[in-house]
Copies of this chain bind each other. A is one copy, B any other.
Amino acid sequence: VQLTYALPSPAHMSPLGQQEVDRRAGLLTGWASPGTTVEMTTTHTGPASIESMYEEYLAIPALAESVLDGERRGADATIIGCFGDPGLDGVREVASRPVVGPAAASMALAATLGHRFSVVTVADSIRHPLRRLAFDTGVEAALSSVRAVNLTVLAINGDHDSAYAALAAECKRCLADDDADTLVLGCMSMGFLGAAERLTGELGVPVVNPVRAAVHLAETLHHMGLAPSRRAFPPPPKVTAGTAVADLLLTADPHPTP
């Protein structure tokens, strides 16, 4: 199986840097099943990281292009490289092969492991968007709470130890106060830090790493010959009528001929 892991930002030019991008690509390869290769892509334009809905919307157009590029290079399936599943429904409308969102993948996985799961994410500002993703996935009845460490993505990547401590503290609150029995890390950076595996051991409950949940869901879909429903994510009517995807965007000529 050939997968694309599409980062929704030019992360290599951001403070995150190419080195961290490469480290993550290595982890992905290690986590995938034998026979799976994973290509990690970045965009030419986008926010440095996604910590608000505004940045999420900024990211989507270039992310979609990058998904289609990956398909042209032969990807069997694509993973959106951000826990907010930015543009997942829109990208599925124009993609040819399965596109997987890590939030949907990990929340659906968590739903099979207990009665109620909580998500621990980066910032309070995306708590409602994550509840909306649970609604979109249809698992909101199993969602116990969404809590946030309120650290920036940069801070998480900058000081792993205090990020882990903050994360563990919120996870414990989910168990003690919110009646959760299963946890989901609501941030890919947390996933790439190995926090889920360590917390699973320390807290005695399953803590889902969204990176790995997404990789295995992509593999599963490929093995089973399944793809997201075309009835749920139909192509844009203009595309059905013959317009190329790339021509859906009109741009006013800044120097029109008079």
A-side residues, CB < 8 A to B, are 9-10, 13-14, 31, 33-35, 44-48, 51-58, 60-61, 64, 87, 89-91, 93-94, 100-101, 104-105, 108-109, 111-116, 123-125, 128-129, 131-132, 135-143, 152, 175, 181-182, 197, 200, 204-206, 208-209, 212-213, 216-217, 219-221, 223-238, 241, 245, 248-252, 254
Contacts and interface: CB of A to CB of B under 8 A. Distances in A.
Contacts of A221: 113
Contacts of A206: 226-229
Most central of A14, A87, A206, A219 by chain B CB within 10 Å: A206
22 contacts: A10-B252, A34-B34, A34-B35, A48-B250, A51-B237, A54-B91, A57-B57, A101-B112, A108-B108, A113-B221, A114-B231, A115-B131, A135-B135, A138-B139, A138-B142, A139-B142, A181-B232, A182-B232, A205-B229, A213-B224, A216-B219, A216-B223
A89 B101 CA distance: 20
A191 B116 CA distance: 29
Nearest to A60: B57
A139 B139 contact: yes
A112 to B, nearest CB: 5
A140 B137 CA distance: 11
Contacts of A64: 54, 57
A250 B132 contact: no
A230 to B, nearest CB: 6
Contact of A108 (B109, B182, B200, B245): B109
A236 B45 contact: no
Sort A-B residue pairs by CB-CB distance and give the 10 closest, nearest first.
Answer: A138-B142, A114-B232, A114-B229, A52-B236, A181-B231, A53-B90, A54-B90, A181-B232, A216-B220, A45-B251
A139 B136 contact: no
Contact of A93 (B52, B132, B204, B216): B52
